[in-house]
Amino acid sequence: MSRRSIDQILEGKPYKKLLLPEKLQQSEIDLVDTDPRKTQYYLRIVLDNCGRINPEEIEEYIGTGGYQALGIALKEKKPEDIIKIVKDSGLKGRGGAGFPTGLKWSFAAQEKESPKYVICNADEGEPGTFKDRLIMEGDPHKILEGMAICAYAIGANIGYIYIRGEYQLSIRRLKKAIKDAEQLGLLGKNIFETDFNFEVKIKIGAGSYVCGEETALLNSMEGFRGEPRLKPPFPAKSGFLSKPTNLNNVETLANIPPIILNGAEWFRKFGTEDSPGTKVYTILGHINRPGLIEVPMGITLREIIYDYAGGMSSGEFKMAQIGGTAGDILSAELLDVPLDYLSLQIAGHNLGSGAILIMNETVSVIDFLECCMKFFVHESCGRCSICRIGTKQMYESFKYLRGKKACCNELKNIKELAEALKLVSFCPLGQSVASPVLSVLKYFRTELSKGIDSNENYETITREMSDIVFDFS
Amino acid sequence: MTIKEIVDKYGSERENLLQILHDIQNQNPRNYINKESINALSKEMNIPVSQIKGTASFYSMFSFIPRGKYVIKVCESPPCHLLGAESIFKAIEYKLGITIGETTKDGLFTLERTSCLGICGVAPAMMINEDVYGNLNEEKIGKILDQIQEQEKERKQLCREEALTKF
């Protein structure tokens, strides 16, 4: 910002470039009302330091109270106390599955074998999700602190951060953060003059979506193909190099230092009874202000669109996909369902990783689903046949629907296949293919049926596959 | 750096394989992993060639065919698709005269598809080597590619001049 513009702001004059468009100013006024729940909007837990401090200076992080939680944990609390605080806080894994974090830690803590590992899952491949990237870029030390506290609680001495290869800036910043923390003795040997040692290393991924699944991530870290492993044994028992391992998402770990500092009771003040705390969402699509928000759990889709995203940028709301490409598609009738793990489960949906893609009426459901399926065809690892062949078949079905060449029982076939994928697939990738498909079948059946060839002049054997099968039989 | 130096830098355990492959690819002027380096790596790390190739081919960031100096990766995931990723592909194809997966004749550009780059807030987006570009449109793409071509021309000119002065 230029000197002139700063002077202008200091004098109390509005600076034209920074003003919101007119229609946005209106919604801004709505936001500052007296709804007591909405006053919480101004408090952030995970993104507290993002944009406020220089992420490359460790002194600035310490200046805002950073590494205090680690000091308190190491000096005043026992590992069991920390696991109890995390359990009491009700924090759930923010990677998408929503497994209680405290419970996960207690599994790893029970194991006697050593060494144990703490792994931060920063392989954020879900299209539409970029919250982890912004946390890593904006506040890398918070993740390191969270990892150190976790390591102390479960009795680990080595930590890894697995970052996708595309996130070059995050890799650079985290590497610098680790170096700075080691210099000040906040990582390394005898941290805070206790006998606790902890070092963090970085592993870089190479472009694979399925590696976000925890066991596939472990295989990839060991230098193999990133294919998922059979569970059980769970990573807590036999993870990285067959040793007990605790895996957490970036956002989950970033929640830990504030919880240790302020206590479980404080954390429970935010969000709902079942899902306490805040959630970082990335909001995208046909809206006025795409970007990142941190809101209490249990906020509705309507509030997100009209209070935070500044309303639709063009057209009317048609549907929203929550949780990235592997997430459910919600229609306008679900605008007022609170977004938390329990309420969505009751409505038959899943919260997922926190991406909200909002679409207006110009988007064709069939075209959009075809694009989603193309993504899955590309990313299916090929280990189990239902996922490898099923995703391809699903993609072809939507291609036929788009060309209005589908046969009369195409929708029935799609539903059958989606249910089979959900039941039979080896890992969550194949299972999650079903979520967008089944939710679209639920809400947009009439629109899908427009893709069916009403003249019934489709060729019965149009599938390329059937010819090949004949050749070999 | 030779293969041996790279392996020594990280250690010859299997868990360092991906990092080593990244380094081998990055130091190759044509952005790919060639046969010779896989063979050398196999001897150095004591892993069969088939295993190295099998692992590397799983990941989309590794390539076994020579690529251009600048690898253009255009995001094709749903958020970018909604805001017009297809037209971005077309604009680049038209400008450079290549289709997806091909390299320009001067060995400068390769066009590839990629899944989400994590910058959906500024969709549609693309990545050229390690630089990220967002909020793309045809005009902006023209400018970016022109700029790179201009840079390369200047660099070549400088090299030529330097060679002449030495001569």
B41 plus B88 within the same structural domain: no
Dihedral angle, C-alpha A124, A128, A131, A137, nearest 10 °? 80
Tell me the average pLDDT across A232-253.
93
Task: Say if residues A469 and A463 touch (Cβ distance below 8 Å).
Answer: no
CB neighbours of A417 closer than 8 A, spacing ≥ 6?
A390, A393, A394, A397
- For residue A49 the two structure tokens come to 């330091």
Strands annotated E in A354-465? 355-360
> Percentage of residues in chain B with pLDDT exceeding 90?
75
Q: What is the pLDDT of residue A20?
A: 57
The third-level CATH classification (topology) of the domain covering A278-363 is Ubiquitin-like (UB roll) (3.10.20)
Which band of pLDDT confidence, cut at 50, 70 and 90, is reported for residue A16?
low
Mean predicted confidence (pLDDT) in B56-68: 93
Cα–Cα distance between A117 and A158 in angstroms, integer?
5
Most trustworthy range by pLDDT among A464-468, B70-74, B75-79, B112-116: B70-74
Instruction: Give mean pLDDT, residues B37-62.
Output: 94
State whether B123 and B86 are in the same domain. yes
* pLDDT value of residue A39: 41
pLDDT number for residue A19: 59
Of the candidates B15, B19, B78, which has its C-beta nearest A127's C-beta? B78
Does one domain contain both B127 and B50? no
Q: How far is A82 from chain B (nearest CA, A)?
A: 31
Residues B102 and B42 in one domain: no
Residue A200 pLDDT exceeds 60: yes
What does the pLDDT average to over A178-197? 94
Let me know if domain A366-472 sits in CATH 1.20.1440.230.
yes
Model pLDDT, residue B7 = 94
Q: Is B88 found in the same domain as B39?
A: no
Hey, are the CB atoms on B58 and A204 less than 8 Å from each other?
no
Using the structure block, give the residue that is written with the tokens 């894994």. Answer: A93
| List of chain A residues whose C-beta atoms are within 8 Å of the C-beta of residue B22 | 165, 204, 206
Range of the domain at B83: 70-166
* Summary count for chain A: helices (H), strands (E): 20, 11
Predicted pLDDT of residue A473: 33
CA-based end-to-end distance of chain B: 28
- The span from the CA of A105 to the CA of A87, in Å, is 9
- Report how far apart, in Å, the C-alpha atoms of A281 and of each of A4, A38, A212, A322, B100 are: 35, 17, 18, 9, 33
Sole residue written with tokens 């790893």: A108
> What confidence score (pLDDT) does residue A2 get?
67
Residue B140: predicted pLDDT: 93
Q: Which DSSP symbol is given to A19?
A: S
Pairs across A and B, CB distance < 8 A: 115
The answer to whether residues B121 and B44 belong to one domain is no
Yes or no, beta carbons of A224 and B21 under 8 Å apart: no
Residues of A in contact with B76 (CB under 8 A): 371, 374-375
Is B7 a member of any domain? yes
Span B59-73, average pLDDT: 93
Domain parsing of chain A, residue ranges: 3-32, 58-268, 278-363, 366-472
Which residues from chain A sit within 8 angstroms of residue B119, using beta carbons?
Answer: 130
Q: Best interface-test mutation with B: which of A210, A284, A289 has the largest number of B CBs within 10 A? A: A284
The CATH number of the domain covering residues in A58-268:
3.40.50.11540
- B63 in any annotated domain: no
For chain A, give the percent of residues with pLDDT over 90. 59
Residue A285 scores a pLDDT above 60 = yes
Helices B17-27 and B49-58, axial angle in degrees (round to 10): 80
The pLDDT tens digits for A35-63 are 444 444 557 888 888 888 999 999 999 99
Q: Could you tell me what percentage of chain B is helix, strand and coil, using 3-state DSSP and rounding each to the nearest 5? A: 55, 10, 35
Judge whether residue A221 has pLDDT over 70: yes
Q: Are A275 and A342 in contact (CB under 8 A)?
A: yes
**One-letter amino acid of B33:** I
Provide mean pLDDT across the span A146-154.
96
- Domain membership flag for residue B64: no
In the predicted model, what is the mean pLDDT of residues B121-138? 90
Do B38 and B15 fall into the same domain? yes
Mean pLDDT throughout B138-143? Answer: 93
Kindly tell me if the per-residue pLDDT of A11 is higher than 90: no
Residue B78 has its nearest CB partner, among A168, A221, A375, at: A375
What are the C-alpha distances in Å from A462 to residues A373, A413, A457, B10?
20, 15, 11, 52
- With a cut of 60, say whether residue A292 has pLDDT above it: yes
Q: Which of A29-33, A109-113, A459-463 has the highest mean pLDDT?
A: A109-113
- Best B23, B62, B83, B115 member to test A by mutation, with max A CBs in 10 Å, is B115
Closest-CA residue of A relative to B10 is A203
**Interface contact B54-A225, CB threshold 8 A:** yes
pLDDT tens digits, one per residue of B76-104: 888 898 888 999 999 999 999 999 999 99
Establish if B65 belongs to a structural domain: no
More confident residue, A262 or A351: A262
* Average confidence score pLDDT of chain A: 86
Distance from CA of B164 to the nearest CA of A (A): 38
Q: Which residues pair with A322 in a beta bridge?
A: A328, A356
Q: How many CB atoms lie within 10 A of CB A30?
A: 11
pLDDT at A40: 47
- Nearest CA distance, A291 vs chain B (angstrom): 5
Model confidence pLDDT, tens digit, residues A369-424: 999 999 999 899 888 999 999 999 999 999 999 988 888 888 999 999 999 999 99
Same domain, B79 and B41: no
Number of domains chain B is built from: 2
Alpha-carbon torsion (A160, A165, A166, A172), positive or negative: positive
Residues of chain B with C-beta less than 8 angstroms from the C-beta of A124:
118
**CA atoms of A326 and A129, how far apart (whole Å):** 11
Q: How far is CA B64 from the centre of its chain?
A: 12
Burial grade of B164 (CB within 10 A; 0-12, 13-18, 19 or more): exposed
CATH number, domain containing residue B102 = 3.40.30.10
pTM above 0.95, yes or no: no
3-state SS, residue B127 = strand
Question: Exposed/middle/buried for A13, CB within 10 Å: 0-12, 13-18, 19+?
Answer: exposed
Helical segments of A32-78, H only:
58-63, 68-76
Q: A323 pLDDT exceeds 90?
A: no
Strand order in the sheet with B70-75: B109-114, B70-75, B126-128, B131-133
Q: What is the ipTM of this complex?
A: 0.91
Q: Among residues of chain A, what percentage have pLDDT more than 70?
A: 89
pLDDT of residue A467: 46
Closest among A131, A355, A166 to A252, alpha carbons compared? A131
Does B114 contact A291 at a Cβ distance shorter than 8 Å? no
